[in-house]
Structure 1
Amino acid sequence: MSAPQALALVAVLMGTPAMAQSLYDEASYRPLTADNKAFRAGDVLTIQVVENATAVASADSGSHRKNSAGLELFRDTNSKYRREIGLSATGDFDGGGRTARTGKLVTQMSVTVTEVLPNGDLRVSGEQSLVINQERQQIRVSGQVRPQDITDGNVVLSSRLADASIDYAGDGTLTDSQRMPWWQRVRSWFGL
């Protein structure tokens, strides 16, 4: 190869960018010294659901009413007959009611990061299905997590979920026995 040809070959090689594939992928890279916290879509995060709910409502009301009306009829001033008509009505009503409800849910489940929001928060969602004595129990959890609320063990408390939606439902014989029959609901609706 002559000197001008070698020079032309070097010029062509210098103008062409090098094409090599790297083992480093910026999207999935995590240093060896980094913790195992979820930080991107598809990562798994553990939620500790600890929810206590108590509600109490009471109402008292009362009303009292007394009405009366009278009518007297006279024939004349010398008559011994005297007619009187009277009407009287009274009514009392006292009413009251109280309702109380308490619920407690304690579980631990894993959810998946579905989206990383522009501010860095993680949107998470997941569900868990259990069958215990032929009763299907289903738990669904979704919400928004701040990365600083995730512990080093990749766990976050349910009280740290923003816009949290926690749904716990059961299906089976025991759950069905807890429901009021339709005919009792109709009877209750009519106040019977």
Structure 2
Amino acid sequence: MIPYSLRIIFVLCCAFTSLDVHAANLFSAEAYHSLTADRRASNAGDIVTILVYENSSASNSADTSTNTGFAINGKVSTLYAGNNMAQVGAGDNYGGKGKIERAGRLLAQISASVTDVMSNGDLIVAGDQNIDVNGEKTRIHLKGRVRPVDIAQNNTVLSNRLADAQIDYTGEGFITDRSRPGLIPRFFAWLGLW
């Protein structure tokens, strides 16, 4: 006779062998990185350093000149007054020149997070940098789309490689407030007189 404890072990073994058993795959093709590969951002949540180097300049000039004139001449001859001449003339000269030049330069390094990976593999990145130095607050906000091939081996990418780039640079503080025009110049500018 088979002991009772062996019969229970046998029944349990038969019960567990009838269950479907699935092994977990430890390999993921999407997350695979070679041991010798560099660490570049490739997934949502990864961090990439954006090297912001933006130079912009614009120039616009206009030159306008007009010259108009007309004259009326007349001669009247009468018996009593003799020959009389009348002459009327008018003219207008106008000349105007205008030139607008604007230049801007922004240099910064911002660590941005990958917020999304598009179906074609492009990475959507966004990042903020807030700096406060002696009450002068500066904020840089950056957002854009980058191709993985544009990310260098040291996990950096130039800002001119970002597609649909949005770079906002704002500041506030004593120096920023003093660089803005006062109330009267702003009022005249609003009226279009400045």
Residue 39 of structure 1: how far off its partner (Å) = 0.7
Residues 97-139 of structure 1, C-alpha deviation per residue, up to 9 Å, x if partnerless?
A: 1111111111111000000000001000001011123111111
Give the alignment of 1:38-187 within 5 angstroms.
38-70=41-73, 76=78, 78-80=79-81, 85-187=86-188
Equivalent residue letter for 2:47: V
Give the whole-Å Cα distance in 2 for the aligned partners of 1:107 and 1:21: 45
The CA RMSD measured in Å over matched residues stands at 3.0
Give the SS at the match of 1:64: strand
Q: Which runs of 5+ in 2 are unaligned?
A: none
Equivalent residue letter for 1:157: L
Give the SS at the match of 2:193: coil
Task: Quickly say closer, same or farther: Cα 1:180–1:73, change in 2 above 3 A.
Answer: farther
Residue 190 of structure 1: how far off its partner (Å) = 4.6
Task: Quickly say closer, same or farther: Cα 1:8–1:103, change in 2 above 3 A.
Answer: same
**Deviating runs (4+, > 6 A) in structure 1?**
2-8, 19-22
Equivalent residue letter for 1:50: Y
Task: Quickly say closer, same or farther: Cα 1:70–1:181, change in 2 above 3 A.
Answer: farther
Percent pairwise identity: 34
Q: TM-score, normalised by structure 2?
A: 0.82
Q: TM-score, normalised by structure 1?
A: 0.83
Residues 55-84 of structure 1, C-alpha deviation per residue, up to 9 Å, x if partnerless?
A: 11111111111023356665x4x2126665
